[in-house]
Amino acid sequence: MTKTEVKKIFTKGIYTDNPIFVQIIGICSALAVTNLMMNSLIMGISVSLVTAFSSLTVSLLKDHTPKHIRMMVQVLIISVYVIMVDIYLKAYMPEMSKALGPYVGLIITNCIIMGRAEGFAGSNPPMLSFLDGFASGIGYTFVLMSVSLVREILGFGSFFGISFIPETFTRWTLMVMPPSAFFILALIMWVFNNARLKRQREGVEKK
Amino acid sequence: MIQVHPFIIFIASIFTSNMIFSNFLGMCSFIALSKEIPTALGLGIAVTMVLSFTTVLNYFVYWYIVLPLGLEYLMYILFILVIAAFVQLLEMVMDRYLPTLYYALGIFLPLITVNCAILGVSLFMVTRQYNFFQTLGFAVGSGIGWALAITAMAGIRSKLNESSIPEGLRGVPITLIITGIMALAFIGFSGMVQIQ
């Protein structure tokens, strides 16, 4: 495992192969928890850890898993880690656990984890799979944080729960409601897509 | 917990707390498979069917297995196993007895296991402590609401092919924006009934 390999995995997970922008997976939970930045941060960390450890486990067990039941095995592995995260949140951050509600359990059906397990961990060594899962999780967290940054500032006038915009500023109620999540994610994707298309066009001209 | 009439939950889960527009569940397949109306409708029917049955099964699993034995920490695993097993069983039964339906819906069935809406409805049922009839209304209503949303979306997207959209917005971003506008429209129903 060389340094360039690690660097490649991280750029892929966070930018060029970002699970949400490029592969369009794991959107469900990406939208539901983005009204406050703190919620998104905790959700992002949970998903990163679950993805990293389940990739590691899938990769360790890949030679002992029969091909036709591998999906079931992967789901079980993922559930075990999600249960661990859930118990931890319930014990140490009961408020947060209540705010995230069923969305912690829904990490199981988050396609990012399944996608990494199936697409990368099934055919790569354990340590690389661990890093790959972690990088994808960071990419996901990054998107979550950018959506919630806009929503929290405009909707609540605060940053990580700290109010900094004076009360006279009218709160943008729409930003707290579900539709705004769709609009903001779409706009962020638009910016990203434009950057990618520009890069592609430049690449063609150089040739 | 205030006792809400099951029928009100049924109507509310179709319109005011639609799985897609207010809870964001099942977005992955909603975006990937809402390109044509027949496909969308097929998937919608399959989801409604699986959702109704698995949620009721999970209701029994929760009240008669998980709670009496104190297995709350295994709840997620049990729920996902029930869903996976039910989908597998449904696939085999349909293949044997209803081959025409199987060929129409067959390709969607494996996808449903990882549809977050299915697990999500079961988990909401637990957090909101619904009784049997409320669960039934909630499950069927959520399924119909999901089917309605994906079919309507497919109808809109089939018109989009002829309009000129900025290059960077094509595909997923424009779909998200339309979903947002549809969600705004559905918020208009929220004065009617409210369950959350």
φ/ψ (deg, to 5) at A171:
-70, 140
Q: How far apart are the C-alpha atoms of B74 and B85, rounded to whole Å?
A: 16
As a whole-number percent, the residues of chain B with pLDDT over 70 amount to: 93
Average pLDDT in the B99-116 region?
73
Query: Is the CB of B77 inside 8 Å of chain A's CB atoms?
Result: yes
pLDDT value at residue B107: 66
Query: Is the CB of B168 inside 8 Å of chain A's CB atoms?
Result: yes
CA angle B180–B53–B41, rounded 5-degree value: 45
Determine, for residues A106 and B123 on separate chains, whether the beta-carbon distance falls below 8 Å: yes
Residue B25 has pLDDT above 60, yes or no: yes
pLDDT value at residue B106: 64
List the single range of A94-98, A160-164, B168-172 with lowest mean pLDDT.
Answer: A160-164
Q: How far apart are the C-alpha atoms of A75 and A117, rounded to whole Å?
A: 10
| Residue among A32, A82, A186 whose CB faces B173 most closely | A186
The interface pTM score, or ipTM, of the predicted complex is 0.80
pLDDT value at residue B21: 82
Please report which confidence band the pLDDT of residue B56 belongs to, taking 50, 70 and 90 as the band edges: very high
pLDDT value at residue A69: 76
Average pLDDT in the B123-136 region?
88
Residue A111 has pLDDT above 60, yes or no: yes
Task: Spell out the domain ranges in chain B.
Answer: 6-191
- Token output for B11: 């109507």
Query: Is the CB of B67 inside 8 Å of chain A's CB atoms?
Result: no
- Residue B43: CB atoms within 10 A of its CB come to 28
Per DSSP, A159 falls in state E
φ/ψ (deg, to 5) at A159:
-135, 115
Q: What's the pTM?
A: 0.83
What confidence tens digit (pLDDT) does each residue in A122-153 have? 788 888 888 888 888 888 888 888 888 888 88
Query: Is the CB of B129 inside 8 Å of chain A's CB atoms?
Result: no
Question: Count of A–B CB contacts within 8 Å?
Answer: 116
As a whole-number percent, the residues of chain A with pLDDT over 70 amount to: 95
- B24 neighbourhood in chain A, CB within 8 Å: 27-29, 31-32, 178, 181
| Selected residue of A50, A88, A103, A106 to mutate for chain B interface (largest B Cβ count, 10 A) | A106
Average pLDDT in the B141-164 region?
88
pLDDT value at residue A205: 64
Q: How far apart are the C-alpha atoms of B115 and B94, rounded to whole Å?
A: 20
| Cross-strand partners of A158 | A163
Q: How far apart are the C-alpha atoms of B11 and B8, rounded to whole Å?
A: 5
| Residue among A29, A178, A186 whose CB faces B183 most closely | A178
Determine, for residues A24 and B31 on separate chains, whether the beta-carbon distance falls below 8 Å: yes
What confidence tens digit (pLDDT) does each residue in A159-180 have? 777 777 777 777 777 777 888 8
Q: Which of A21-25, A27-31, A133-137 has the highest mean pLDDT?
A: A133-137
Mean per-residue pLDDT of chain B: 83
| Cross-strand partners of A159 | A162
Query: Is the CB of B58 inside 8 Å of chain A's CB atoms?
Result: no
Secondary structure (3-state) at A164: coil
Helices vs strands, H then E, count in chain A:
8, 2
